[in-house]
Amino acid sequence: MKRATFLLGAAALALAACDENPAAEQRGLDPQLPEPQRGLLPSMTIPRPTAWGNELPTVPQGYRIQAIATNLRIPRQTLILPNGDILVAEGTGGNAHALRPKDIIAGIIKSWGKTSVPGGNRLTLLRDADGDGSYETQGVFAEDLNAPYGLAFSNGAIYVANQDELVRFPYTDGQTRANGPPERVAALPSAINHHWTKALTASPDGRFLYVGIGSNSNITERGMEAEVNRAMIWQIDAQTGAHRPFATGLRNPTALTIQPGTDRLWAVVNERDEIGPNLVPDYLTSVREGGFYGWPYSYWGQNVDTRVRPQDPELVAAAIRPDYALGSHVAALGVAFSNAAMGERFADGVFVGEHGSWNRSQPVGYRVVFVPFRDGRPAGDPVDFATGFLTRDGNARGRPVGVTVDPRGAVVVADDLSNTVWRITPER
């Protein structure tokens, strides 16, 4: 007990060790990156959970938000089915053990900002039968899954990325319950599972599934042998389950999507920790086939991470600079392209769910932002789309995870702290 108290006290002293500028979030096309800062412990502050009460998240004028599902069991990602029903993946995973005393401290502090509800390990189906936006039906579609996260619909089937395998459920339009256990498509790396979430999307023609697989460490603390088949995006043949690396060097690709009208894959990626509150920006990027994005050797292109030994200058020279910085430690966990039904201001761009920081004394994230696009690429500063998840006194009412755009004109947001699914629509 004395040792734990000492360690937590040391963590508190570390909060003031780094210079933090809340305005310097390193966002946009050309972020200005500071010099790395190293210390015994990173700054660690995580807002404590508090109830929404009668409050709602704040959305732009001309839009409304409502809770369409509550009392869930850690909702992560959502999927709009062809008939308009919404599937919600609920659960939590990972089995990585702590390597260092500061890992124990970080684990304790991060647990302060989580729900006390156990993960559901299931898919819940929401239905709005009369089209009034209230989603009066809420029932279990499938259960006994293993930390489901990524969802996709293709080839007349629902695909689910569990923490250890990619599976599929045959689906008939309007179905409310799976007919039986899922069929395995492919095994996924699951040893240690420091980053357990497996992001998922399907190619437009349904031939391939893309799965994001996070690293097994912050910066190779477990050795490179633990990183085999990690920190990359797999391309999986939907029929045979055969897979290959599509892109590598992505520390933790937490959400994937295909840009409408193209075959271009996009991802949001959580970057590394422990080199300062303003490094390294999490990012949004298009993903090039065969591309290398830096991890672990470098970040934001060719910025070398000197902690990594041995280095690989050839890979650093080949590292691709991401398209758009979202800010350091915002923990982006959701991404979805918009459409014209969301109104002129938000018609062209992507929505990003930012789960929120734990390793800054001044928290960032805890919101949904809109990144405007022009001519198919990010253009301009991000715009707050859903805020109010943080209270003025520093507590958290919710934490956004997955975001999904309903083609009829709605943004669906999974909130894994208040265990709510929110729906944001233009007022008409």
Residue type, 212: G
Report, as an integer, the average pLDDT of 293-321.
97
In 3D space, the residue among 310, 292, 288 whose CA is nearest the CA of residue 302 turns out to be: 292
Three-state helix/strand/coil letters over the chain: CHHHHHHHHHHHHHCCCCCCCCCCCCEECCCCCCCCCCCCCCCCCCCCECCCCCCCCECCCCEEEEEEECCCCCEEEEEECCCCCEEEEECCCCCCCCCCHHHHHHHHHHHCCCCCCCCCCEEEEEECCCCCCCCCEEEEEECCCCCCCEEEEECCEEEEECCCEEEEEECCCCCCCCCCCCEEEEECCCCCCCCCCEEEEECCCCCEEEEEECCCCCCCCCCHHHHCCCCEEEEEECCCCCEEEEEECCCCEEEEEECCCCCCEEEEECCCCCCCCCCCEEEEEECCCCCECCCCCEECCCEECCCCCCCCHHHHHHCCCCCEEEEECCCEEEEEECCHHHCHHHCCEEEEEECCCCCCCCCCCCEEEEEEEECCEECCCCEEEEECCECCCCCECCCEEEEEEECCCEEEEEECCCCEEEEEEECC
Report, as an integer, the average pLDDT of 26-30.
94
In 3D space, the residue among 253, 272, 258, 254 whose CA is nearest the CA of residue 400 turns out to be: 254
Q: 164 lies in a domain?
A: yes
- pLDDT recorded at residue 3: 36
Structural domain that includes position 213: 2-17+36-426
Q: 55 lies in a domain?
A: yes
The pLDDT tens digits of the residues spanning 172-205 come to 999 999 999 999 999 999 999 999 999 999 999 9
The pLDDT tens digits of the residues spanning 361-403 come to 899 999 999 999 999 999 999 999 999 999 999 999 999 999 9
Contact 125, 378 (CB under 8 A): no
Three-state helix/strand/coil letters over 234-279: EEEECCCCCEEEEEECCCCEEEEEECCCCCCEEEEECCCCCCCCCC
Q: Which CATH number fits the domain that encloses residue 195?
A: 2.120.10.30
In 3D space, the residue among 265, 282, 276 whose CA is nearest the CA of residue 214 turns out to be: 282
CB atoms within 10 A of CB 129: 11
Contact 37, 275 (CB under 8 A): yes
Q: How far apart are CA 211 and CA 179, in angstroms?
A: 25
Contact 30, 380 (CB under 8 A): no
Does 5 have pLDDT greater than 70? no
In 3D space, the residue among 251, 242, 266 whose CA is nearest the CA of residue 220 turns out to be: 251
Q: How far apart are CA 371 and CA 343, in angstroms?
A: 14
226 to each of 215, 243, 249, how far by Cα in Å?
A: 9, 19, 14
The pLDDT tens digits of the residues spanning 266-293 come to 999 999 999 999 999 999 999 999 999 9
The pLDDT tens digits of the residues spanning 35-89 come to 999 876 667 788 999 999 999 999 999 999 999 999 999 999 999 999 999 999 9
- Report percent pLDDT > 90 for the chain: 85
pLDDT band at residue 98 using 50, 70 and 90 as cut-offs: confident
Q: 26 lies in a domain?
A: no
The pLDDT tens digits of the residues spanning 141-167 come to 999 999 999 999 999 999 999 999 999
pLDDT band at residue 21 using 50, 70 and 90 as cut-offs: low
Task: Name the more confident of 60 and 95.
Answer: 60
Contact 396, 43 (CB under 8 A): no
Does 12 have pLDDT greater than 70? no
- Can you tell me which residue has the tokens 């010099």? 35
Q: 27 lies in a domain?
A: no
- pLDDT recorded at residue 60: 98
The pLDDT tens digits of the residues spanning 206-264 come to 999 999 999 999 999 999 999 999 999 999 999 999 999 999 999 999 999 999 999 89
pLDDT band at residue 99 using 50, 70 and 90 as cut-offs: confident
Q: 119 lies in a domain?
A: yes
Q: 229 lies in a domain?
A: yes
Q: 274 lies in a domain?
A: yes
Look up residue 169 and give its two tokens.
């459920």
- pLDDT recorded at residue 44: 79
Q: 84 lies in a domain?
A: yes
pLDDT band at residue 24 using 50, 70 and 90 as cut-offs: low
The pLDDT tens digits of the residues spanning 400-424 come to 999 999 999 999 999 999 999 999 9
Contact 309, 297 (CB under 8 A): no
pTM for the model stands at: 0.94
- pLDDT recorded at residue 41: 67
Please provide the average confidence, as pLDDT, over all residues in the chain: 92
Check residue 402 and give left, alpha or beta (phi > 0: left; psi -120 to 50: alpha). Answer: beta
Q: What is the tally of structural domains in the chain?
A: 1
- With both helix axes pointing from N to C terminus, report the angle between 101-111 and 2-14 in degrees, rounded to the nearest 10: 80
